[in-house]
Amino acid sequence: MKLLVVGGGGREHTIIRYLKKNPEVETIFACPGNGGMAEEAVCTGIGATDIEKIVAFAVENAIDYAVVAPDDPLVLGCVDALNEKGIPCFGPKANAAIIEGSKVFSKNLMKKYGIPTAQYEVFEDMEAALRYLETAPIPTVVKADGLALGKGVIIAMTRDEAKAAVRDMMEGGIFGKSGSRVVIEEFLTGPEVSVLAFTDGKVVKPMVSSMDHKRVGDNDTGLNTGGMGTIAPNPYYTEAIAEECMNTIFLPTINAMNAEGRTFQGCLYYGLMLTPNGPKVIEYNCRFGDPETQVVLPLLESDLLTIMRSCTNGTLAETEVKFADKHACCVILASNGYPQSYKKGFEITMTEEAKAHTFVAGGALKDGKLVTSGGRVTGTTAIAGSLEEAIKEAYRISDGVQFEGAYRRSDIGQRALQALK
């Protein structure tokens, strides 16, 4: 089979590595891919949102199956466009990807179908939003409606901060059209859990739970990033909570999307907060998380391609989705200065051991050498029988990845470890 994976980061490198375990797979093309995965996939360089070119390439190369991984091509209708040419895909159509593409849509969906989430109000008029903030409970959370590269959420500790966020989004246009509508919602507290789930639109099969580390600094300090590391499973997510989530959140969401005529097929990512009043949805993503994928797929014992195709064919109920009873930890190495400005082009070297455990997010080939080309550069994953061991191994192995200015957090998994004790 010839496969095409849309995307070019660490998540896509991970997906490609696990798709290749299936002996039916001959070649995987990536759009665009990155230099760090060039030994495992043919990197086309075609941009992930250049849908016309992606479709033309897929037709020309007789692609048998495509996996659309990032949010923006999904929201833009990449799956619809490939399907129109008869190419089956893993990933939701645009009318279902809106569950991530519009926070107003997802909040209204949850309200309509009684799915637990933070209380909220939607505003299209800035003056009305500012008036509401005069009396709203503080802290409060201001969210841009549309995709904003994961930066469209402001946790405001004061009324002035909240008002400034509303002005920036609605008047300053810092997120363009994405900020022309805002959601202002209740501030929730509790441990956060990421649950990625396979769904064919009929049944939901959750993957092992995970925990992201979004802040750049140790002890969750400093700016927000795309994620500096992950562990799986998440110790806060007990079996009882998993069962409650299935009944109050996972299945009701799939059913709600069906009722709206927006059947969701693919990977639905439930961003949950375990509040004192039970699990609530913080956000939905219409795709695999990054770097959650880097700890979840290495624990998958069943065949990834078989599962993905069953989501497309509507046969997920009969398909095995089994995870190892082990622990995983992924440590991200970032460019010095990330998530603000940083330099690129430094050579990346890896020991053989590190290479086997590392997924490249920001790497490019230059004169035959792998060099840094992004903020997050690599993610190194280790698996072990205990979380403690997985963390130790991930750090030890990631010592084998080197480039100038490499930065990593030193405490990935420590909070989870404390929770276990």
Site residues (vs ligand AMP, CB under 6 A) = 118, 141, 150, 153, 155, 185-188, 192, 271, 282-283
Q: How many residues bind ligand GLY (CB under 6 A)?
A: 7
Cα(26)–Cα(20) distance, integer angstroms: 8
Among ligand GLY, ligand AMP, none, residue 153 binds (CB under 5-8 Å by kind): ligand AMP
CB atoms within 10 A of CB 405: 15
3-state class of 319 per DSSP? Answer: coil
Could you tell me the sign of the dihedral formed by the alpha carbons of 323, 281, 190, 129, in that order?
positive
* Cα separation, 90 vs 47, whole angstroms: 18
Out of 145, 212, 303, 393, the only residue in the binding site for ligand GLY (CB under 6 A) is: 212
What is the enclosing helix (H) or strand (E) of 293? helix 293-296
227 binds ligand GLY (CB under 6 A): yes
Q: Which residue's CB is nearer to ligand AMP, number 2 or number 215?
A: 215
**How many residues in the chain?**
421
Rule CB under 6 A: is residue 310 a binding residue for ligand GLY? no
Quick one: DSSP state of residue 260? T
For residue 226, the minimal CB distance to ligand GLY (Å) is: 7
- Residue 16 or 295: the one with the smaller Cβ distance to ligand GLY is 295
Grouping H, G, I as helix, E, B as strand and the rest as coil, residue 270 is strand
Question: For ligand GLY, which is the closer residue by CB, 150 or 222?
Answer: 150
Dist. CA 53–CA 72, nearest whole Å = 15
72 scored as a contact of ligand GLY (CB under 6 A) = no
Nearer to ligand AMP, 212 or 303 (CB): 212
Q: Which of 289, 339, 374, 375 is the binder for ligand GLY (CB under 6 A)?
A: 289
Rounded least distance, CB 158 to ligand AMP, Å? 15
The residue to which tokens 């159509």 are assigned: 93
Scanning the structure block, which residue is given the tokens 């509040």?
A: 275
CB of 212 to ligand GLY, least distance (A): 5
**Distance between CA atoms of 398 and 382, rounded to whole angstroms?**
9
- Contact partner at residue 290 from ligand AMP, ligand GLY, none, CB < 5 to 8 Å by partner kind: ligand GLY
